[in-house]
Amino acid sequence: MGQPATGHQERPGRGILLVLLSTLFLASSDVAAKHLSASLPALQIAWMRYATFTLIMISAFGATRGALTLRSRRPGLQLLRGLGMVGSAILFISSLGILPVADATAISFISPILVTGLSVPLLGERVGPRAWAAAFLGFAGVLVVLRPGQGAFQLGAVLPVLAALCWACALVATRRVAADDSAQTTMTYSALVGLVILTLLVPLVWTPPGAAQVLTGAFIGFASTTGHWLVAQAYRFADASRLAPISFAQIAAVSVVAYLVLGAVPDVWTWAGAGIIAGSAVVMAREGRRATSRPTAS
pLDDT in tens, 65-81: 556 667 788 888 899 99
Rounded Cα distance between 275 and 272, Å, is 5
Distances (CA, A) of 147 to 92, 100, 158, 258: 19, 14, 11, 21
114 pLDDT more than 90: no
pLDDT of residue 29: 96
Q: Mean pLDDT over residues 145-166, rounded? A: 73
pLDDT of residue 225: 92
User: Dmax of the chain from CA atoms?
Assistant: 64
Q: Which residue, among 100, 88, 67, has the nearest Cα to 263 in the 3D structure?
A: 100
Where residue 150 falls (left for φ over 0; alpha for ψ -120 to 50; beta otherwise) is beta
15 pLDDT more than 50: yes
125 pLDDT more than 80: no
Q: Mean pLDDT over residues 119-147, rounded? A: 71
Query: How are the residues of the chain apportioned to helix, strand and coil, as percentages rounded to the nearest 5?
Result: 75, 0, 25
Q: Rank 148-152, 164-168, 174-178 by mean pLDDT and report only the highest.
A: 164-168
Residue-by-residue DSSP string for 51-92: HHHHHHHIIIIITTTGGGGG--S-HHHHHHHHHHHHHHHHHH
Q: What percent of the chain has pLDDT over 70?
A: 79
**The pTM of the whole model exceeds 0.85:** no
pLDDT of residue 119: 66
pLDDT of residue 42: 96
pLDDT of residue 7: 47
pLDDT of residue 152: 45
Q: Mean pLDDT over residues 29-51, rounded? A: 96
Task: Assign 111 a pLDDT band (cuts: 50, 70, 90).
Answer: confident
Least confident of 59-68, 83-92, 147-156, 183-192: 147-156
Rounded Cα distance between 168 and 162, Å, is 10
Do residues 119 and 127 lie in contact, with contact meaning Cβ atoms separated by under 8 Å?
yes
Task: Assign 244 a pLDDT band (cuts: 50, 70, 90).
Answer: low
Q: Rank 93-102, 195-204, 222-231, 240-249 by mean pLDDT and report only the highest.
A: 195-204
250 pLDDT more than 70: yes
Q: Which residue, among 277, 241, 252, 262, has the nearest Cα to 107 in the 3D structure?
A: 277
Task: Assign 6 a pLDDT band (cuts: 50, 70, 90).
Answer: very low
